């Protein structure tokens, strides 16, 4: 069952975009508060009728404004998991999961509810408790079991882990990964947590101000964001200003001048040139943004020897458990800072003030013209 969505709406809340989610795929809607993620989820669930658009799951049309079709939520077989769990406080975990099964005989209803609670790894004792006697992570497991008990054709997860502490959150991530192997249905996740989205999702849909700006696998979006706004929304730290010089002498490559950050006093003629991939989409002399993934930066304990190597000094080194967040101030580009995450023994040698050489994989540089989205 493939989920196919087309939405266009100008009245508040504005929404515009198309995307699809395949069987067994987890798609994450990401973007800032007010981006339209939850509104899009409400359209999928049938809680909001869009001005124009279609929602199709498999061969079932749930909404088609052109044909006057709009199925209410109770006819869509959607499994919903909310941030605040939305459990009935006066009912036990078992009774909460039994609610979507009222069409079954009492004995079969209890058997099915226990089966789902077993699947989400709640013990027999926990299944008899009311929500206030369960931890946040246990309540969320009940909410997941209740959603699955509906035998949904589509799962919608609205910030499902944000109210859970980090330890329980890791357990819920593993649970979701296990359940996905057995569920051949589309799953749509709304989250503000970019790390969570990149870790769990097969594909991202990046939204801002109600519009879908870009969609694709997390790695692809991080390596090639559509524009500077997308780069910022997905948390790309290494975004810089530049000027596109034009094609180089080597076929398929072009020249990019690395520009100083605003306010930095420097002679433009002394700024470095980078030979990078040329997709023949940018005019010579045009102002650009360009981005670089952290894994495109190599630290070298020797002076620069190549055009893609730059002398730098460690301006920030912040240990966070098994990783260190590192910032490098570059000699050649006043005001420019490279940021990367390090693990392994090398990070123990890098303190603030340490001189180092940063090597850039110029084949991984992604250049974007400066313009509106």
pLDDT digits (tens, 9 = 90+) for 326-365: 999 999 998 899 999 988 887 878 899 999 999 999 999 9
Query: Do 220 and 245 belong to one domain?
Result: no
- Please identify every stretch of the chain with a pLDDT value under 50, giving residue numbers as ranges: 373
Could you tell me if residue 167 is left (phi over 0), alpha (psi between -120 and 50 degrees) or otherwise beta? Answer: alpha
- Whole-model pTM? 0.89
How many domains does the chain divide into? Answer: 2
The per-residue pLDDT for range 163-195, each reduced to its tens digit, is 788 778 888 888 888 888 888 899 999 998 898
User: Contact at 8 Å (CB) between 270 and 304?
Assistant: no
**Residue 170 lies in domain:** 3-233
Same domain, 147 and 12: yes
Task: Report the alpha-carbon distance of residue 137 to residue 150 in Å, rounded.
Answer: 21
Q: Are residues 194 and 224 in the same domain?
A: yes
**pLDDT at res. 373:** 45
Q: Render the burial of 7-16: b for 16+ CB within 10 Å, e for the rest.
A: bebeeeeebb
> Same domain for 255 and 220?
no
Whether 218 and 255 map to the same domain: the answer is no
Mean pLDDT of the chain: 92
Domain boundary among 175, 209, 233: 233
- pLDDT more than 90, % of the chain: 76
**207 and 182 share one domain:** yes
285: left (phi over 0), alpha (psi -120 to 50) or beta: left
Q: In the prediction, which pLDDT does 141 show?
A: 94
């Amino acid at each position: 069952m493939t989920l196919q969505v087309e939405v266009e709406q100008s009245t508040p809340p504005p929404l515009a975009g198309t995307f699809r989610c395949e069987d067994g795929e987890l798609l994450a809607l990401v973007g800032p508060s007010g981006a339209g993620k939850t509104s899009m989820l409400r359209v999928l669930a049938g809680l909001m009728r869009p001005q124009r658009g279609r929602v199709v799951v498999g061969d079932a049309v749930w909404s088609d404004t052109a044909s006057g079709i709009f199925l209410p939520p109770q006819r869509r077989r959607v499994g919903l998991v909310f941030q605040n769990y939305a459990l009935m406080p006066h009912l036990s975990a078992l009774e909460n999961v039994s609610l979507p099964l009222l069409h079954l005989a009492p004995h079969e209803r209890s058997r099915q509810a226990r089966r789902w609670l077993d699947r989400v790894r709640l013990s027999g004792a926990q299944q008899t408790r009311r929500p206030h006697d369960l931890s946040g992570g246990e309540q969320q497991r009940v909410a997941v079991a209740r959603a699955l008990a509906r035998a949904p054709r589509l799962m919608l997860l609205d910030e499902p882990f944000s109210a859970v502490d980090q330890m329980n959150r890791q357990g819920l991530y593993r649970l979701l990964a296990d359940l996905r192997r057995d569920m051949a249905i589309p799953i749509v996740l709304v989250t503000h947590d970019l790390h969570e989205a990149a870790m769990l999702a097969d594909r991202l849909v990046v939204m801002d101000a109600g519009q879908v700006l870009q969609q694709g696998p997390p790695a692809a979006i991080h390596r090639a964001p559509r524009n500077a706004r997308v780069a910022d929304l997905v948390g790309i730290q290494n975004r810089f200003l530049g000027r596109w010089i034009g094609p180089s002498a080597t076929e398929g490559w072009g020249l990019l001048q690395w520009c100083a950050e605003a306010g930095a006093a420097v002679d433009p003629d002394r700024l470095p040139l980078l030979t990078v991939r040329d997709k023949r989409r940018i005019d010579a002399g045009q102002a650009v943004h360009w981005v670089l993934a952290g894994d495109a930066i190599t630290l070298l304990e020797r002076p620069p020897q190549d055009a893609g190597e730059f002398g730098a000094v460690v301006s920030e080194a912040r240990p966070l458990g098994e990783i260190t967040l590192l910032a490098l101030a570059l000699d050649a580009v006043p005001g420019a800072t490279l940021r990367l995450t390090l693990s392994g023994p090398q990070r123990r040698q890098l303190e603030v003030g340490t001189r180092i050489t940063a090597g850039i994989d110029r084949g991984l540089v992604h250049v974007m013209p400066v313009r509106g989205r």
